[in-house]
Amino acid sequence: MTDYILGPDPADPKLTRQVDGIDQDGNPVDTSVVVERPLTLFLNGQEIVTNMTIGDYPDYLAVGYLLNQNMLRQDDVITGIDYDEDLETVIVRTERETNYEEKLKKKVRTSGCAQGTVFGDLMEKIEDTKLPAGAVLRTSWLQTLTKAINTTDSLYLQAGAIHGCVLCQEDRPLVYMEDVGRHNAVDKIAGYMFLNGISAADKIFYTTGRLTSEMVIKTVQMGIPILVSRSGFTAWGVELARETNLTLIGRARGRRFTALAGLDRIVFDATAEEGEEEPARLRRKGSLPPDAA
């Protein structure tokens, strides 16, 4: 069992619900389904957005969202985070006065499965960003990480219909977050890092979803130099990764992977012959998120 600082909690009764139906033979079945609930985010006195989420870690989600939308600065002082479960709202309060009325009018809808949005001026900031070259990714670390993450007891394995993102350091998964949209899972990790003062320079980010422009933008926003997925790429995601010097690795399954950007950071200290192949039982049963997720 991987010793996460913070990991999935598939046993949390608030995250799933039992629903009755029938199977392919017409037999009655009870199955777990993920619960979605709205969460409206305020920054000081201003309503920012309503996200559909599974509802865990609303404080991390709120702070991470604001960071990744460039509404919170790295030097901002948060004076309070107020969550009201009944009203389904979370308010982030800062020392700095904020007003994003004009910014809220400028949005770009992203390719995220739950219709994530990126405010338009983030694209201009990303174009001027270059991640530092000092970090490395050893292929032995990658093999250990993918095995540990893909065999973690998670909400996905219990109910499906969800994405996971994992913050890692070398060959150790540290923080594993899940949500109905991959952008929410990313934002939770960004919020956790900010509120706990965790450095990004030596971290690796793993996602179960596609390596889209949105995933690249959010990873670069967090300052993490390496992004890994078991799924595939989009052309714009690859282009942005190359422009920002992000190491981009996809189709990471067992001992195999494809790298399309930031290749200089990869240290080949384990050959494909030395590493373990992805367990056949996981491939056969579909226990891992598919490329199309």
Residue 120 has pLDDT above 70, yes or no: no
Residue at 20: amino acid letter = D
Residue 124 has pLDDT above 90, yes or no: no
- Report the CATH number at residue 27: 3.40.140.10
- Asked whether the beta carbons of 129 and 222 are under 8 A apart, the reply is no
For 150-195, what is each residue's pLDDT tens digit?
899 988 877 777 899 999 999 999 999 999 988 999 999 999 999 9
Structural domain total, the chain: 1
The pLDDT value recorded for residue 283 is 46
Q: What range defines the domain where residue 55 resides?
A: 1-293
Distance CA 258, CA 117 (A): 28
Say which residue, 104 or 91, is predicted with more confidence. 91
Cβ neighbours around 199 below 10 Å, total: 10
Lowest mean pLDDT among 83-87, 100-104, 244-248: 100-104
List Cβ neighbours of 6 (8 Å cut-off, separation of 6 or more).
174, 175, 176, 177, 192
- Asked whether the beta carbons of 73 and 54 are under 8 A apart, the reply is no
Local confidence band at 123 (pLDDT 50, 70, 90 cut-offs): low
DSSP designation for 157: H
- Asked whether the beta carbons of 63 and 49 are under 8 A apart, the reply is no
The pLDDT value recorded for residue 229 is 96
Strand pairing category for 226-229 and 247-253: parallel
Would you call 195 exposed, middle or buried from its count of C-beta atoms within 10 A (0-12, 13-18, 19+)? middle
Say which residue, 270 or 185, is predicted with more confidence. 185
Q: Based on C-alpha coordinates, what's the Rg of the chain?
A: 19
Give the mean model confidence (pLDDT) for residues 18-47.
Answer: 94
Residue at 16: amino acid letter = T
Residue 83 has pLDDT above 50, yes or no: yes
Say which residue, 293 or 163, is predicted with more confidence. 163
